[in-house]
Copies of this chain bind each other. A is one copy, B any other.
């Protein structure tokens, strides 16, 4: 921690900061500049962070030098984490195409989509039984009946599935069915839910909050990791910006930034960031080229009747074409699918 004093800070102000640092076992390094004094704090970072330095008299601001997360950082574990999702590996060179309908609507809808994506090369099925919706008047999902249909599709097409959980009281239920549990963008900072998932054995896909910084996102992953669940896959799905031409702005740079600072696998979700069918293919390919460990897209055989997010779903045939391009780009960059 670097503590920057105000130009009008007194010797007593500086001494008070130094004394508090010493009282928690840390060492103050004082540098006097032309205009300001700066105090470097060396010691246990949790102890140092726990003090409200900016509330001290004469302090202008406190700048953290070390990131607040620990276990999910590259410094803690240099080699990439590989997550096992019902037998499918994700990360560390293992690329995962994930596809299926946004929400489970009917058995026929789910199976039509699942068969198509399995044939085209998807390795994990997506489909939700619980949907958090902005309006209380929108379709909220089929609940356990939806999970049962997903389990039947897994049986039929031989692919594990990912499903969202929105309520800490449903964690056990969803874990009893799904192979990979998804935390949606609106729940990324639902620390209650994160802690609960940290005590489970199923892997977790943590979507980035559409208004969360990368650091906050990795802090959220730390909540899960620290409770004992180390199988976390990050999913970049776009952030909220001033641009309204797209639903959200896919932060493509998050892929290489996360790879630099963390060992966790990261995938992209071009469907929910772009919000339009025509943007799914270019954004998916951008994600592959930027180094993502996989991608997740919505596929629906009849988007005009979709109960959730129809405008962004691609057709089964479009998914098959996309998979051809994904393979070509991945091979061009030396990866294998």
Most-contacted residue by chain B among A52, A219, A222 (CB, 10 A): A52
Partner of A191, one of B45, B49, B166, B251: B166
- Inter-subunit contact A2/B63 (CB<8 Å): yes
Count how many chain A residues have C-beta atoms less than 8 Å from C-beta atoms of the other chain.
109
Within the complex, the shortest CB–CB distance from A171 to chain B, in Å, comes to 11
Q: Which of B139, B186, B288, B310 contacts A55 (CB 8 A)?
A: B310
- Smallest Cβ distance from A333 to chain B, in angstroms? 6
The contact of A286 among B33, B36, B135, B289, by CB within 8 Å, is: B289
CB within 8 Å of B: which A164-206 residues: 166-169, 186-187, 189-192, 195
User: CB-CB contacts of A271-306 with B at 8 A, as 1s and 0s?
Assistant: 001101111001101111111000000000001111
A-B pairs with the 5 shortest C-beta distances?
A52-B310, A211-B211, A54-B311, A55-B310, A289-B289
A interface, CB within 8 angstroms of B: 2, 4, 7, 20, 29, 31-36, 38, 40, 42-43, 45-46, 49-56, 63, 65-66, 68-69, 75, 132-139, 166-169, 186-187, 189-192, 195, 209-211, 213-216, 219, 222-223, 226, 239-246, 249-257, 260, 273-274, 276-279, 282-283, 285-291, 303-307, 309-311, 313, 325, 328-329, 331-333
